[in-house]
Amino acid sequence: MGDIDRFIVVLLFEGVDLLDVTGPPEVFALLQRETGNAGGYQVSLAAETMEPVTTSAGVRIIPDITFREAAERSIDTLLVPGSVEVDEDRRVHALTDPGIVEWVGRLADRSKRVASVCVGAHLLAAAGLLDGKRATTHWSTAQQLAADHPAVNVDADPIFIRDGKVWTGAGITACLDLSLALVAEDFGEAMALRVARQMVMYLKRPSGQSQFSVPTEAVATTRRMEDLRHYVTQNLGGKLTIPGLAEYAHMSERQMTRVFKTELGTTPAAYIESARVETARNRLESTDDTLDRVAALCGFGTVDTLIRAFRRKLNTTPTEYRNRFRHSG
């Protein structure tokens, strides 16, 4: 190894997501190849013991060092992957084992830079490393991260976020984007671009991860709210107003707004816009409707309004979204 090798520790634990662990080292290995082995990174996989660790994919990985051994060294970058469980309703929940959280805190104290991969952000947050910071994670657990850790400013759209010495990455393959960003910081964008070309990927991915997400469907607790949601869905193409919804539900406008906030955690206007954007997404994916027709059918009225809603909710445009996700009937 060269004199400028940076020591990177990747955490290993039972049930860890496989790509979170193996993706970044692949990026760092390609850097080593691009430099002609003149220098780069020394990557070590660290676990509680030296016993093989079984990942979420069932693949077993052998650690290079133990957590205790890693804590005895000065670490340039600590990479923290994550793990999840899926309940019977197919809802995804990030896991935070207290023992792993304790080691994250101890190893972070020995690290010049700390980065989480995907839902690894939940481990950083549990260790108190994200308090007062802006952070991202996989879109499916962003609401959980925000609810469990109110001191964290959660933004579910960016592919990665840097806040001081702490970096957080978005979902799954975003571990590659994050790793390229680390390479760019350490060795310059020109070298990172060479690695990106070898991987046949963008150095900077266009847009964020919101365009890939599936809206989290809030669970209404009353029949009245279920009726309201059904009414909104059936009338997206019409003029949905707060007074009109209140009249339909036989409530005052203030009461209806309060019920939306209490049961769905949002405002009537925000819920309506989200429902319209989701319907527009479906039409862009599965039909050849013009943007004018999509805007009319989904209640946006004009293409400009449709575009603004897509930029606000998905950080992309309807045309860009269709180009990426259109599938044949």
* Residue of 272, 286, 156 whose CA lies nearest to 212: 156
Residue keyed to tokens 């020591």: 7
The average pLDDT across 193-216 equals 72
Asked whether the whole model's pTM tops 0.85, one would answer no
SS3 at position 283: helix
Q: What is the pLDDT of residue 321?
A: 87
Please state the φ and ψ torsions of residue 316, each to the nearest 5 degrees. Answer: -155, 180
Residue keyed to tokens 């020394």: 42
Q: What is the pLDDT of residues 50-96, one digit of tens each?
A: 999 999 999 999 999 999 999 999 999 999 999 999 988 888 999 99
Q: What is the pLDDT of residue 1?
A: 41
Q: What is the pLDDT of residue 303?
A: 96
Domains and CATH numbers, the chain: 6-210 (3.40.50.880), 223-325 (1.10.10.60)
Q: What is the pLDDT of residue 328?
A: 57
Q: What is the pLDDT of residues 276-287, one digit of tens each?
A: 998 998 899 889
Are the C-beta atoms of 302 and 296 separated by less than 8 Å? no
For residue 222, give every residue at least 6 positions away whose Cβ sits within 8 Å of its Cβ, in sequence order, or none: 259, 263
Cα distance from N-terminal residue to C-terminal residue, the chain: 53
**Residue 2: pLDDT band by 50, 70, 90 thresholds?**
very low
Q: What is the pLDDT of residue 309?
A: 94
Q: What is the pLDDT of residues 123-178, one digit of tens each?
A: 999 999 999 999 999 989 999 999 999 999 999 888 899 999 999 999 889 999 99
User: What CA–CA distance (Å, rounded) separates 100 from 80?
Assistant: 10
**Residue 211: pLDDT band by 50, 70, 90 thresholds?**
low
Residue that wins the pLDDT comparison between 298 and 39:
298
Cα diameter, the chain = 73
What DSSP line would sit under 207-258, residue for residue? S-SGGG-----PPP-SHHHHHHHHHHHHTTTS---HHHHHHHHT--HHHHHH
Q: What is the pLDDT of residue 157?
A: 80
For residue 98, give every residue at least 6 positions away whose Cβ sits within 8 Å of its Cβ, in sequence order, or none: none
Q: What is the pLDDT of residue 285?
A: 86
User: Is residue 228 over pLDDT 90?
Assistant: no
User: Is residue 19 over pLDDT 90?
Assistant: yes
Q: What is the pLDDT of residue 266?
A: 86
Q: What is the pLDDT of residue 172?
A: 86
**Residue 3: pLDDT band by 50, 70, 90 thresholds?**
very low
Are the C-beta atoms of 97 and 87 separated by less than 8 Å? no
Q: What is the pLDDT of residues 313-328, one digit of tens each?
A: 888 899 998 988 886 5
Q: What is the pLDDT of residue 302?
A: 95
**Residue 224: pLDDT band by 50, 70, 90 thresholds?**
confident
User: Is residue 239 over pLDDT 80?
Assistant: yes
Q: What is the pLDDT of residue 68?
A: 98
Q: Pick left, alpha or beta for residue 227 (phi over 0 → left; psi -120 to 50 → alpha; otherwise beta).
A: alpha
For residue 274, give every residue at least 6 positions away whose Cβ sits within 8 Å of its Cβ, in sequence order, or none: 215, 266, 313
**Residue 45: pLDDT band by 50, 70, 90 thresholds?**
very high
